[in-house]
Amino acid sequence: MLSFDFQTFMKDEVSITNNQDYLLKKESIFRKLKESPMTGWREVLQDETLIEKIIAKASWVRRNSSCLVVIGIGGSYMGCYALDKLFSSQFFPNSFPLIYAGYQISDAYLEELISYLKEKDFCLNVISKSGTTLETTIAYQKLLDFMKKKYSEEELRQRIIITTDKNKGVLREDVINNRYFSFEIPDNIGGRYSVLSVVGLFPLATQIDIRKLLSGAMNASAYMEDAYFYAYLRKELYNHGRVVENFVVYDEKMLMFCEWLKQLFAESEGKENRGILPISTFNTRDLHSLGQFFQEGNPIIFETVLRMQHFGNKERVQDIAIESVCEAHMSHTPSNVITCSDLSEYTVGELIYFFFLSAAFSALLFEVDPFNQPGVEAYKEKMRERL
């Protein structure tokens, strides 16, 4: 379950109660979201045949390999990576690890990875909606060459899993020509809104109960009003000069979730000279560095704290820290607090869906398209020209 405190640590500069504009905009924003063609993510996956296919393949992969290499970048990897880190132990290495590639272009990294994989049986899941992303292509080609030397064609058909567009792109051609195993990314779901589609679900199914994740997300349409309230509040804060949002976590496991949030908000609303710059901090570590800025620096920031609820009898140091920090920062930096009842798959599913809605509402309040990313395409284009 999620609960929200958008009031206690907010400065008086923003007040939304009885605000006509809030209600007027709400109607049009909800309508715009409904009319958008890129909202496939709103219908949480319920197709039992597909869910079965994902789970069956994931368990085949686990039975026949010692790890799964996931190749992708941006929305095609970030969500899976964030949840993988969130659900795995920081001290006991997972008996079946996910290993990532294609999100960077270091030769040394790929070489080291290949030499690590030499003595291992592994599977590979390459994920790219366009099928043309450079970082992904480079890593895929190198690992494919390596796998071709190691496995027979028959084995490659089991060990290579391609997640891409259902009709177009080089990867789809690879599926057709070589009869590789594949999943289809729905047309109406963009990268950063795709973690609850085959993009994130297949690799995650080797680690967690994806049905619970999906059922949490299904329940989260109940947070529609809260998501709009949060989006509207962000916009109001922005209008008062708060142009940076700091996502704050107190559990190190949530750090990559913040990276996912940064991508979701930055790519959804950072366009046409508008938008709030998302950053993140891990407390209390960062209170001993960036904390100084939040307390006394340029007042352009507001914070959104992701808090995990605690059901013990005793007051927990972490809760005391959150209250104390929000209270101390409040004179200078206002805070929202979003509380998760636990860190289960179900609750994380709710949290993801809540942020999907908020990011889309937020971009619509900024009057930009939440679902395109022309800025990201621009650098890809330039690189392609040069290469």
Residues acting as catalytic residues: 267, 288, 380
Distance CA 40, CA 33 (A): 11
Q: How far is the CB of 50 from ligand PA5 (least distance, A)?
A: 19
Q: How far is the CB of 204 from ligand PA5 (least distance, A)?
A: 16
Q: How far is the CB of 127 from ligand PA5 (least distance, A)?
A: 6
Q: Which of 54, 58, 74, 122 binds ligand PA5 (CB under 6 A)?
A: 74
Distance CA 305, CA 246 (A): 8
Nearer to ligand PA5 by Cβ, of 275 and 334: the residue is 275
Half-sphere exposure of 164 (CA within 13 A, CB side): 27
As separate numbers, helices (DSSP H) first and strands (DSSP E) second, the chain gives 15, 10
376 binds ligand PA5 (CB under 6 A): yes
203 binds ligand PA5 (CB under 6 A): no
Nearer to ligand PA5 by Cβ, of 226 and 267: the residue is 267
**Tokens matching residue 148:** 């071709």
Q: How far is the CB of 78 from ligand PA5 (least distance, A)?
A: 7
349 binds ligand PA5 (CB under 6 A): no
- 251 and 217 in contact (C-beta within 8 Å)? no
Compute the C-alpha angle 17/18/24, nearest 5°. Answer: 115
Q: Which of 73, 82, 113, 352 binds ligand PA5 (CB under 6 A)?
A: 73
Q: Which of 267, 269, 303, 350 binds ligand PA5 (CB under 6 A)?
A: 267
Q: Which of 39, 65, 76, 182 binds ligand PA5 (CB under 6 A)?
A: 76
**Tokens matching residue 368:** 């930009």
Query: Under rule CB under 6 A, which residues in 102-161 are in contact with ligand PA5?
Result: 128-130, 133, 136
Nearer to ligand PA5 by Cβ, of 207 and 373: the residue is 373
191 binds ligand PA5 (CB under 6 A): yes
Distance CA 81, CA 58 (A): 16
Q: What residues form DSSP beta bridges with 339?
A: 3, 307
- Using CB under 6 A, which of the segments 74-82, 109-117, 282-290, 317-325 binds ligand PA5? 74-82
Q: How far is the CB of 31 from ligand PA5 (least distance, A)?
A: 24
Q: How far is the CB of 373 from ligand PA5 (least distance, A)?
A: 5
Residues with Cβ within 8 Å of residue 175, at least 6 apart in sequence: 162, 164, 182
Q: How far is CA 149 from CA 44, 143, 144, 146, in A?
A: 40, 10, 9, 5
- Using CB under 6 A, which of the segments 47-55, 70-78, 240-248, 354-362 binds ligand PA5? 70-78
182 binds ligand PA5 (CB under 6 A): no
Nearer to ligand PA5 by Cβ, of 232 and 260: the residue is 260
Query: Nearest-CA neighbor of 247 among 132, 347, 335?
Result: 335
Query: Nearest-CA neighbor of 363 among 20, 7, 24, 32?
Result: 32
Size of the site for ligand PA5 (CB under 6 A): 15
Q: How far is the CB of 130 from ligand PA5 (least distance, A)?
A: 3
Q: Which of 79, 190, 270, 349 binds ligand PA5 (CB under 6 A)?
A: 190
Residues with Cβ within 8 Å of residue 342, at least 6 apart in sequence: 308, 309
Outline where the chain has alpha helix (H): 20-35, 48-64, 78-87, 107-117, 134-150, 153-159, 170-178, 198-205, 210-219, 224-239, 255-269, 291-296, 317-330, 345-365, 374-386
Q: Which of 75, 270, 275, 370 binds ligand PA5 (CB under 6 A)?
A: 75
Cis status of the peptide bond prior to 333, with omega within 30 of 0:
no
Give the footprint of ligand PA5 on this chain (CB under 6 A): 73-76, 128-130, 133, 136, 190-192, 267, 373, 376
